[in-house]
Structure 1
Amino acid sequence: MASDLIHDVFSGERNLTTKERTISVVLGLGLAAAAAQPRPNKFLSLAALVAGSLLAIRGATGHCAAKSLMNDSGHSPARI
């Protein structure tokens, strides 16, 4: 079961641009580093660490499951 989850997270077609990947990694690592600072609210620090880690993994793998689901359902993200 755990190996299936790991495979799902780290597999899939790359659907992020280089710019999106770079921003995700930088913001994710920054958020995770900020979470390492001592804070009175431990839950908030844990939430920031998890969110930062997920962003960094998203950027490192180049695959975003949410973006993939939006594209599969026929909705394409708005282009500016």
Structure 2
Amino acid sequence: MNGEPNLSTAERGVYMLVGLGLAAAAAKPRPNPLLSVLALAGGSYLAWRGYVGNCPVKAAITGGHDSERLVYRG
């Protein structure tokens, strides 16, 4: 949860909107409650990442300072 922000303002907004939308979708009753729990957890995580402004997946792909860049060596 630490590290420098690596998301732009627009990316942060998208993360928060998608995350909150997914979490809100979890409120709808479903036949399988596990789907609601997964939607709530995933949405909350995305919204939090947008708020913090740091995404470990983007850092791994683009070569952020916290991790090495993922490169295909085939």
Unmatched segments (≥5 aa) in structure 2: none
Q: Which has the higher helix share?
A: 1
| TM superposition score normalised by structure 2 | 0.81
Separation of aligned partners in 1, 2:26 and 2:70? 36
- Give the equivalent residue in structure 2 for 1:48: 39
* Alignment: residue pair count: 66
Task: Let me know the Cα RMSD of the aligned residues.
Answer: 1.3
- State yes or no: 1:37 paired with 2:28: yes
Q: Secondary structure at the match of 1:25?
A: helix
Q: Which runs of 4+ in 1 moved over 6 A?
A: none
| TM superposition score normalised by structure 1 | 0.76
Once the two structures are superposed, what CA deviation does each residue of 1:22-68 show, in whole Å capped at 9, x if it has no partner?
Answer: 00000100100110121111111111111100110110000001111
Give % identity.
50
